[in-house]
Amino acid sequence: MNKINQLFAEQRQTGRKLLSLYFCAGCPTLEGTAEVIKTLERRGIDMIEVGIPFSDPLADGPVIQSAGTVALKNGMTLTKLFDQLKSIREEVSIPLVMMGYLNVIMHYGIERFCQSCVECGASGMIIPDLPFADYLSEVKPIADKYDLRVIMMITPETSEERIRFIDEHTDGFIYMVSSASITGAQSNFDDAKQAYFRHINGMNLRNPRMIGFGISNKQTLESARSNAAGAIIGSKFVTLLNEADGNAEQAMDRLYAALEA
């Protein structure tokens, strides 16, 4: 079974809420990717989104944009990233999800990308700027061939009709973006976001959901966990990892402290 499906099957049985982290490969150091991943698994993270740096990340806020710039300056490429992931394939058991923009993946080659994901142990991908029609016609058939999950995002602006269409034609989980804006930490989720969470819950979708964008403290974490299978943290962890000069143990200590405050 695909590791993503296995994780959520176990989550449904136990009811335990999940925590997924995003970080940008190659930032703050070129060679730190493998150690960050191993540390996050050891510290109890359930799933990791491995960011592929790109020069024009439209959906990302300043923290992740900056991380991508640093990674590219450090010399990170998709080929180097896959090589780093292959080196720890036998040491990592949690799902790895490759997150990157379509331009980079198309340049690498979609089928080659899927082959490399399998070779390095990745279980799926998130491509924020992938049009759904292109997903259905071009990407899904190849991803299915390699038993990879293509995770789609929904926002408060996504129509109910489109959400149900996404739910019908995807597998793994749905990435539920907390707001229609770019990534970045928030201190709380207002009434409008809470209403959005409740509305999606009421749709009784087939796929589990993970809530991301803006989660940085106890209030936002608990809100996400009470309205979905779990939470995804990106900008907050990227900031802490940078402040710790790439020391993932220190970054995790500070993250867990922030999530309890």
Which residues are known to be catalytic?
Answer: 49, 60
Cβ neighbours, 10 Å, residue 144: 13
Calpha distance 68→46 (Å, rounded): 23
Nearest alpha carbon to residue 228 among 186, 178, 171: 178
Beta bridge partners of 176: 154, 211
- Walk across the sheet containing 153-154 and list its strands: 149-151, 124-126, 96-99, 47-51, 18-24, 230-233, 209-212, 174-177, 153-154
Which are the contacts of 51, defined by CB distance < 8 A and separation ≥ 6?
22, 23, 24, 25, 64, 67, 68, 71, 99, 100
Give the Å distances, CA to CA, from 22 to 47, 145, 185.
9, 26, 13
Burial class (CB in 10 A: 0-12, 13-18, 19+), 253: middle
Q: Which residues contact 216 (CB under 8 A, 6 or more apart)?
A: 185, 186, 187, 233, 235, 236, 258
Closest CA to 19 of 233, 250, 241: 233
